Every structure is written in structure tokens, then in C-alpha cells.
Amino acid sequence: MNKKGFTLIELLMVIAIIAIISMILVPNVINMISINKQKSCESLKKNIISATKLYVNENKYDLGFTCDNKTIETIEIPISDLIDTGKLDGEIKNPINDEDLTTEKVEVKFNCQTKQFTYDFNCNNCKCE
């Protein structure tokens, strides 16, 4: 007998195989997206700190580090200043929750004894978790 098309059993088997494959792939794809957002967030933090280092290097004498009877001087540099001076481009948004970060600040500490700068960018709404 000459058959045309698929039987119901064959069609159900193909659907079952596709369902099993998608049950394996979907969680892995979601996990990869989450990992990539995390890496993107960490990369953004590194870029912000690198831009701050450039900014401090160019303006270190104008930033007001006096070291009067202190071992560590601390200032905060707004990300908006980094954008205005051209150290960062465009809108700076958190890759995880898409919140605007231009109002956040980078903390710069100057150790008066060792003459070294340290940079810290830990804002309230831009955690890379």
C-alpha cells in the first residue's frame, strides 16, 4: 500500500523529541544570558574605573588632595563628569537592570604616605549580582 504523509505515532514522536531537546536547551540559554550580563556588568565597572584613572591623572593637581594631618584623602567623582570630559561615551546603563548610572559616583582615595590612588565603584542600584 502506498502511504502519503506521517502517521499519528510518528508525528507524536517528533513532537516528543523536540520537547525533550527544548527542555535541555532553554535553561542553558537562560543561564548563558545571565552569565553574559554579569560579565558585561563587570566589564562596565572596569571601564568606569579606567576612565576615572585617566580623569584623575589629568586633573590630580586640581582635585584638592591636600593631605593635611591625614593618611588617606577621599573624593568622589561623578560619572557625569567622566562623560562631560569625554572619558566615557553615551548613556551608561547597568546591563543587569538597565538603570541609568550617570548620577552615580566613583570613590577615589589617595594614600598620602605611599602617594598611591585607589578607585572604588560600588553604587547602590548597580550591583553585579
Helix (H) or strand (E) holding 8: helix 8-59
Q: What is the pTM for the complete model shown?
A: 0.76
Phi, psi of 103 (to 5 degrees): -90, -5
**Is the pLDDT reported for residue 118 higher than 60?**
yes
* Least confident interval from 1-15, 23-37, 81-95: 1-15
Q: 120 by DSSP, 3-state: which? A: strand
**Is the pLDDT reported for residue 87 higher than 60?**
yes
